[in-house]
Amino acid sequence: MAYNKVDQYDEKIMPELMHHYRETLSLLGEDPNREGLVKTPERMAKAMQYLTQGYEMDARAILASAKFKESVSEMILVKDIELYSMCEHHLLPFFGKAHIAYIPNGYITGLSKLARVVDVYARRLQVQERLTTQILDAIKETLQPLGVAVVIEASHLCMMMRGVQKQNSVTTTSAFWGEFERNETRSEFMKLISSRLH
């Protein structure tokens, strides 16, 4: 099943999900029957299904659906792709930006498809490290380019709102393959993504 829109969800699992969210609210000391909370279990059940819809999506199929023969051999870079995901340890959001580059080897893909691949893996319970390598692997396997680079910069609410409260910390993860394992190519990429003149 593929649901893309905010208001699409699996009707079959709604009653049980709502039941558990209602229980959770009670256990946290709330009254799930008070006015403001009556519809909260339903909203949560829908929101969580939306935020985990990536499980139903196929990144490789998305990339392959817009795969074109092209003899470009220069680096293709899409930077500052908005990213919203949820940490699997606390079910709290982490959000930031992804920067993706690849060097084609006969094939390119639509630029917007790269952003969609980010969503496919971000809309799951995640850790930032795995999100980074999943994006890289999907591009590598589908386009078989000469190289792929993925850098993600994100802020984690589980760090910002609780415990250590490092409000301004940004976590950076990166994955490099092929040509990007060479120092010059990688530093060219890093230079391009760190320039803020856009």
CA distance 82 to 159: 20
90 is catalytic: yes
Q: Which residues contact 195 (CB under 8 A, 6 or more apart)?
A: none
Is residue 45 near Zn ion by the rule CB under 5 A? no
Kindly write out the interface string for residues 134-173 of this chain, putting x where it contacts Zn ion by CB under 5 A and - elsewhere. Answer: ------------------------x---------------
158 is catalytic: yes
CA distance 171 to 73: 31
Q: Is the dihedral of CA 6, 47, 155, 179 positive or negative?
A: negative
Could you tell me which stretch among 8-16, 54-62, 86-94, 182-190 binds Zn ion (CB under 5 A)? 86-94
- Choosing from 60, 79, 90, 97, the residue that interacts with Zn ion (CB under 5 A) is 90
Q: Is the dihedral of CA 176, 138, 194, 167 positive or negative?
A: negative
Indicate the residue among 85 and 109 with the shorter CB distance to Zn ion: 85
Number of residues that bind Zn ion (CB under 5 A): 4
Q: Which of 49, 126, 128, 134 is catalytic?
A: 128
CB of 6 to Zn ion, least distance (A): 24
CB of 134 to Zn ion, least distance (A): 18
Count H helices and E strands in the chain, helices first: 7, 7
Task: Convert 121-138 to b/e letters by CB count within 10 Å (16 or more is b).
Answer: bbbbebebeebbbbbbbb
Sites of contact with Zn ion (CB under 5 A)? 87, 89-90, 158
Catalytic site positions = 87-90, 128, 156, 158
